[in-house]
Amino acid sequence: MATLDELMQLPGAMAAFEFRGSGELLEQRIAYPERINESTLDLLAHMCAANMSIATMQARGWEKVTHMKGFYPIQEFTLVGFDWSVVVSGLDRERFKDRGKASLPPFTGVVLANEKADYEAAFATMEKPEPAP
């Protein structure tokens, strides 16, 4: 379970943010406000929530139609742009579901400048297990 501050330590990190499944931006860190601001992150959070919902619908439908397994649940994705990309994780949500928790944690995202992006490091950071209580 990565913190926003940990995500901001990744190579090329421009911003890190948390958002609800509805797209509501909850918290953010911004390293380069001249390149990305809170308004842009709010729009990005809504777009990521929509993409997560669409991908989930497609994965569930594909599994049902083909009887192939392993596509659902959608836990993480990357959206690659021209100058920067976003890596999003809902992995903590799936971990909480597995434990029967009622309240799901938010999605987490990190915006990376493409010229320095290390996607594997981003996923490894996001996939870190939650510390033991």
> Residue 114: CB partners within 8 Å, gap ≥ 6?
12, 80, 81, 82, 83, 84, 85
Assign 61 to helix, strand or coil: helix
Q: What is the pLDDT of residue 124?
A: 93
Quick one: pLDDT at residue 101?
57
Q: Which domains does the chain have, with CATH numbers?
A: 4-126 (3.30.450.30)
What's the sign of the alpha-carbon dihedral 46, 89, 113, 25? positive
What is residue 73's predicted lDDT score, i.e. its pLDDT?
87
Per-residue model confidence as pLDDT tens for the chain (133 residues): 689 999 999 999 999 999 998 999 999 999 999 999 999 999 999 999 999 999 999 999 999 999 999 988 888 999 999 999 999 998 776 666 656 656 778 899 999 999 999 999 999 999 887 665 5
